[in-house]
Amino acid sequence: MMENVYKLANNSRFQWGFMLVFVGLITAQRMFVENVGYSHTLYNNYLIFQQSFFHLLNNQDLYAAYPDAYYDLFKYSPSFALAMGIIAYFPTWLGLFLWNFLNVFVLFAGLKRMQFIPNNGFVLASFFVLVELITTTQNSQSNALITGLILLAFDSIEKQKIPRSAWMLVSTVFIKLFGLVAFVFYLFHPQKRRALLWVIGFTIFLILLPLLVLDVSSLYEQYVSWNHLLVNDHSNELKFSVMGFLHSWFGVSASVKNYVLLFGVLSFVAPLVKYKQYGNLRYRQLFLSSVLLWVVLFNHMAESATFILAVSGVAVWFFTKKRITVLDKVLLTFTVLFTLLSPSDIYPEFVRKLYFIPYTVKVIPCILIWIKINFELFIVNEKTSKSS
């Protein structure tokens, strides 16, 4: 029975059909269900992205508030706003569908290129991340796209396709800045100097790309405004992150979040003392998992829709293992119960409101797995990687 299920799920036609139906249902649900109690639509994020193109075209400040058009602010690069012009002219329902499909397709394309150990590892990993993929797609977020680009960039580096990997990683930065963390993949790569040149070239290209529709002074003002927004985005709101966990469990003040971030940076780079293991595939896979988890855990503004990055990191960590321990299985089970399912209706509403949300339960399994990954990075070697 299960063999037939796996065979079907690995069929490319089924996968295309699944993605089309998956995106179609979510898009229809967001378009035609009223957002009760809120003044904005259920596809508000897409409207922000869509309208940013027209604001850029009309030389309006991308980073100003436009309450008549959408809620919240645009926080991405001018180049991202320009790229949205590819679908901005389409009817909203079609543009939303295409945007969601792009995110889903790139994520699955990235997962498909991971060297999962089980024969059906791609199917299992895809099923594992599905809940969080639903969440980020419902919010018309870019997180699945970023996750997929990081996975594809990692695969390209593994295949020595440096220009392609550089393009993907630079692209993530012009969507959300935390893509910068993924450049750690180049640190000990034998072609790092070549990679640096490609990164510089693509960065300059994307910085200047909006000159297709703006003059130099106007583009400069857009970057000044973007920088002002980012520099002054010092929200004390703590969400699903290490900082949020420390605050909710131990009363740690938001004023120390920079120290927590510093600790996170030091903890992230500490395993690089084992840089001689760079030639070990397991070491590189663990760093990929660490990157995907880190960008969520140490982002104090991480929302539920951001967790597609973290759970994809968990999937890479678990389904690329050659030897799975009891502790690994326990941690994966905790992730399913308390990260994937904690916002769902399988738990009574009072449990979610009184315990799961106030105590940031969603983030706890991811913190534990990130600690386990760091431990494995320190002990990995050619001998242990054959059984880990």
Among 233, 259, 280, give the residue marking a domain's end. 233
Are the beta carbons of 282 and 388 closer than 8 angstroms?
yes
- For 13-27, how does the pLDDT look when each residue is reduced to its tens digit (9 = 90+)? 999 999 999 999 999
Among 181, 211, 233, give the residue marking a domain's end. 233
- Same domain, yes or no, for 241 and 261? yes
- Same domain, yes or no, for 213 and 330? no
Q: Which of 88-97, 209-218, 257-266 has the lowest mean pLDDT?
A: 257-266
Q: For the whole model, what pTM was predicted?
A: 0.95
In the prediction, which pLDDT does 374 show? 96
Instruction: Kindly tell me the sign of the dihedral angle through the C-alpha atoms of 238, 242, 245, 251.
Output: negative
* Structure tokens that stand for 371 in this block: 């600690």
Rounded CA gap, 253 and 255, in Å? Answer: 5
- Same domain, yes or no, for 275 and 174? no
Query: Average pLDDT, stretch 191-200?
Result: 96
- Same domain, yes or no, for 224 and 332? no
- The answer, yes or no, to whether residue 236 has pLDDT greater than 70, is no
- Same domain, yes or no, for 381 and 325? yes
The number of angstroms, rounded, from the C-alpha of 357 to the middle of its chain's C-alpha atoms is: 21
- The answer, yes or no, to whether residue 157 has pLDDT greater than 50, is yes
- Same domain, yes or no, for 111 and 14? yes
- Same domain, yes or no, for 170 and 241? no
- The answer, yes or no, to whether residue 216 has pLDDT greater than 70, is yes
Query: Average pLDDT, stretch 141-152?
Result: 97
* Euclidean distance between the first and the last CA atom of the chain, given in angstroms as a whole number: 29
- Same domain, yes or no, for 102 and 216? yes
- The answer, yes or no, to whether residue 377 has pLDDT greater than 90, is yes
- Domain extent, residue 202, equals 1-233
Among 203, 233, 263, give the residue marking a domain's end. 233
- For 112-133, how does the pLDDT look when each residue is reduced to its tens digit (9 = 90+)? 999 998 778 899 999 999 999 9
Query: Average pLDDT, stretch 352-363?
Result: 93
Split at pLDDT 50, 70, 90, the class of 387 is very low
Query: Average pLDDT, stretch 340-364?
Result: 92
- Same domain, yes or no, for 208 and 243? no
- Same domain, yes or no, for 226 and 249? no
- Same domain, yes or no, for 130 and 258? no
Instruction: Report the percent of the chain where pLDDT is more than 90.
Output: 79
- The answer, yes or no, to whether residue 161 has pLDDT greater than 50, is yes
Estimate the share of the chain in helix, then strand, then coil, as percent rounded to the nearest 5: 70, 0, 30
- Same domain, yes or no, for 23 and 78? yes
- The answer, yes or no, to whether residue 382 has pLDDT greater than 70, is no
Q: Which of 53-67, 236-250, 268-282 has the lowest mean pLDDT?
A: 236-250
Q: How many domains does the chain have?
A: 2
* Structure tokens that stand for 1 in this block: 């029975």
